[in-house]
Chains A and B, each alone.
Chain A
Amino acid sequence: MRGVPRRLTRAEARSVRAASGFLLPFLALFLLCFIAPVGYALYESLLKVERTGPLGLGGETKQVWAGLSNYVHALEDDRFTAGFGRVLLFGAVQIPVMIALATGLALLLDAASARWVGFFRTAFFLPYGVPGVIASILWGFLYVPGISPLVEMAHSAGWDVDFLGRGAVLWSIANIVTWQFTGYNMLVLIAQLKAVPGELYEAARIDGASAWQVARHIKLPLIRPALVLTTVFSLIGTLQLFAEPKVLKPLSNSIDSGYTPNLAAYNEAFTSNNQHIAAAEAVLLALVACVLSFGFLRLVGQRGKDGESG
């Protein structure tokens, strides 16, 4: 690199000029919408509001340095930490269930014994077209006693279900998320399955492998990169859980203002008007998301060195 001949520099300069022209619009907005908010959140999270009037009421307010006290406040807030624990529990159960379901459906649709593949694939993927809020409104109606035909049917079968009770509501939310995203994850997995050269299956079949063996020993290892991708995106999505509990909140007493970290930060900012604490909570959320997704990628990266992916 050091001994680059002089005559190359013109081409290089041209290259740099062109590349920066193409990159500039994106980078400018990336700076505004990603880098700046992260910086601003960090800055805000280190400040607090101090009132200077008599008894700390009214009068002038000014922002003063707070150190890490907002973080301490957030982490000592039982509601906030409980919300974190809740989404982690949610992710530990819902993500494996959803990915397993998506994998199962992808393999079934890819199996030689499947029929009406186009119809089924469309049916499974359809809920992805339903936004989270609408899906929550929709399932909310299916959970509420009085409207829900599900509750009615269960009741007439002598089984009283309460989808919105203290123990159940988290899993009712998990059901909404699973309903919405299984089809999408399935489609990503199918895309990867279709990219596998057909001769591989053919060879295995000639060697006498059963459909189950082909799925277990050939297809599953080959869709590993797609499984990693879908899991990481699901993880990030789970930590951001917001629309579902927000929409179901009026229907269930079991959802409080800090039910998920995101809901806590939102209510801190807009209900309690405490943007500094909200900023600290947003930073904590982003931090946990990054640590978990990088941690997961490292974990599978170490175990999956054999594949040619990456």
Chain B
Amino acid sequence: MNEANDLAGGAVADQPTGAAAPGQAPETAPSGARPGAGRRRAARGRAGRGGSEPPLRHRIITVSLLTVAAIYFLTPVYWLVVSSTKSSSDLFGTFGFWFHDPHPLDYLHRVLTYDDGIYVRWFANSLMYAGVGALAATLMSAAAGYALAKYRFPGREGIFNVILAGVLIPGTALALPLYLLFSEIGLANTYWAVLIPSVVSPFGVYLCRIYAAAAVPDSLLEAARIDGAGEARIFSTLGLRLMTPALVTVFLFQFVHIWNNFFLPLVMLSDSDLYPIQLGLTSWQGYADRQPELYQYTVGGAFLSVLPLMVLMGVLQRYWRTGLTEGSVKA
């Protein structure tokens, strides 16, 4: 489905209107009947694209450049796919860009069962940190952004500016003192040590405020108030619904952010049962000198961990684009 959609999407995406929905048939686009597009369009048969068709030479140059870039971005992924089917000795002994005696299922099974299935546990931890963390972060950002956009109260701009400054503070500069702080109150080396800092997203608040200011009309809120609805009810039924596109963006950003975060869990956790997947894989890599089969487990584990997120990226970059646009247009 993705392949067909991509082809159609490609034709639609560079229409001058730019706002066409992905998957929309080119024929239905309103730009079809534009004057001046006649000459080349006849040659193309079914053409929905406005303006004149670029010359073949341009198309070849553009597509060649794009292909070179695609090779750069996809080569390491290809290597990972090939290497996840090899044993540790074949990793060293055979050419990296081609298969040699592949046993994908067997090796991946060993990754999953090694050390009583610790890998599965790490994976579940990562899902929990990123899923729960991103959900809580989205709800809190939505409430805070909504409050900053839709209510007038003293100190509003001051609070907003402090939150904005939070966007510019490097997360890793915070992680060390946070660890010292959490050690004092006994939270270090627990699930909470990773989860609590993960639900605070200043950028999410920023995005939600901008979006709520533009997408939630005051008149609607007034009407709901006159009907006797409480503020919490208005927020949960009207506000959240109108802010949905921004909330999707915040959720995805935060999910990827937490999933990719390495420094925070590295600092906070010493018990390997609490590790997210990244931390677990680096610990395997660290032992690989002494236990060579861990090379193969590291590669296989990396492959398995990357798979779901890459599928997610492929599907989501379409939706994500709309959310990003909202953020930057109204900024």
- In the complex, the answer to whether A126 meets B74 with C-beta atoms within 8 Å is yes
B contacts with A, residue count (CB < 8 A):
116
B26 on interface, CB distance cutoff 8 Å? no
- Contact in complex: A201, B170 (CB < 8 Å): no
- Do A118 and B259 touch across chains, with their CB atoms under 8 A apart? no
Q: Hey, which chain A residues are within 8 Å of B226, CB to CB?
A: none
Contacts of A147 in B (CB 8 A): 91-92, 96
Q: Judge whether A81 is part of the interface by a CB distance below 8 angstroms.
A: no
Identity of the chain A residue whose Cβ is nearest the Cβ of B74 in the assembled complex: A123
Q: Is the CB of A282 within 8 A of B302?
A: no
- A136-192 residues with Cβ-Cβ distance < 8 A to B are 137-139, 141-142, 146-150, 152, 179, 182-183, 187-188, 190-192
Q: How far is the CA of A115 from the CA of B66 in the complex (A)?
A: 9
Could you tell me if A293 and B177 are in contact, using CB atoms closer than 8 angstroms? no
Please give me the residue from chain B that is nearest to A197 by CB atom.
B18
**For residues 86 through 132 of chain A, which have their beta carbon under 8 Å from a beta carbon of chain B?**
101, 104-105, 108-132
Contact partners of B163 in chain A: CB under 8 A: 30
Q: In the bound complex, what is the Cα–Cα distance between A45 and B179 (angstroms)?
A: 15
* A15 B152 Cβ-Cβ under 8 A: yes
* Residue in contact with A19 in the complex, picked from B59, B62, B147, B302, CB distance below 8 Å: B147
| Central interface residue in B72, B259, B281, by most chain A CB within 10 Å | B72
Rounded to whole angstroms, the CA-CA distance of A124 and B201 in the bound complex is 26
Chain B's interface: helix, strand, loop or mixed, by majority? helix
- The stretch of A48-56, A59-67, A69-77, A236-244 in contact with B is A236-244
Most chain A beta carbons < 10 A, residue from B66, B171, B278:
B66
B223 CB–A CB distance under 8 Å = no
Which of chain B's residues 299-331 have a Cβ closer than 8 Å to chain A?
Answer: 299, 302, 305-306, 309-310, 312-314, 317, 320-322, 324-325, 327-329, 331
Report how far A266 CA is from B91 CA in the complex, Å.
Answer: 32
- Which residues of chain B are within 8 angstroms of A220 by Cβ–Cβ distance? none
Given A117-B13, A137-B282, A138-B302, is A131 in contact with B262 using a C-beta cutoff of 8 Å?
Answer: yes
Distance between A154 CB and nearest chain B CB, rounded to angstroms = 12
| Interface status of A300 (Cβ within 8 A of chain B) | no
Instruction: Tell me which residues across on chain A come within 8 A of B196, comparing CB atoms.
Output: 29, 32-33
Decide yes or no whether B186 CB sits under 8 A from chain A.
Answer: no
By a CB distance below 8 angstroms, the chain A residues around B281 are: 133-134, 137
Say whether A46 faces chain B, with CB atoms less than 8 Å apart. Answer: no
Q: Is the CB of A23 closer than 8 A to any CB of chain B?
A: yes
Distance to closest chain B CB from A279 (angstroms): 6
B residues in contact with A128, CB < 8 Å: 256, 313
| B104 lies within 8 A of chain A by Cβ | no
Q: Mark B38-69, 1 if CB is under 8 A from A, else 0.
A: 00000000000111111000110111011001
A-B contact count (CB 8 A): 340
Per-residue CB proximity of A230-259 to B under 8 Å, as 1/0? 001000100110110011001000000000
Q: Which residues of B contact A266 (CB under 8 A)?
A: 176, 263, 267
B272 within 8 A of A: no
**Inter-subunit contact A149/B97 (CB<8 Å):** yes
How far is A129 from B256 in the complex, measured between Cα atoms in Å?
7
CA distance A265 to B165 in the complex (A): 22
Answer whether residue B7 sits at the interface, using C-beta atoms and an 8 A cutoff.
yes
Q: Closest CB of chain A to B158's CB: distance in Å?
A: 12
Residues in chain B near residue A32, CB distance under 8 A: 196
Residues from chain B with a CB closer than 8 A to the CB of A275 are 176, 180
The answer, yes or no, to whether A68 is at the interface (CB within 8 Å) is no
Give 15 A-B pairs besides A129-B306, A265-B176 with Cβ atoms closer than 8 angstroms: A22-B143, A25-B140, A33-B178, A33-B196, A34-B166, A34-B200, A112-B54, A114-B59, A135-B76, A141-B91, A187-B321, A188-B328, A191-B321, A191-B327, A269-B176
The 8 lowest CB-CB distance pairs between A and B, nearest first, are A118-B6, A149-B96, A22-B147, A191-B324, A198-B16, A18-B231, A19-B151, A41-B177
**25 A-B pairs whose Cβ atoms sit less than 8 Å apart in the complex:** A16-B154, A18-B231, A19-B156, A26-B143, A27-B144, A38-B177, A110-B14, A113-B54, A114-B10, A116-B63, A119-B6, A123-B74, A126-B74, A126-B313, A133-B281, A182-B73, A188-B328, A191-B324, A196-B18, A240-B170, A242-B172, A270-B267, A282-B173, A283-B173, A290-B168
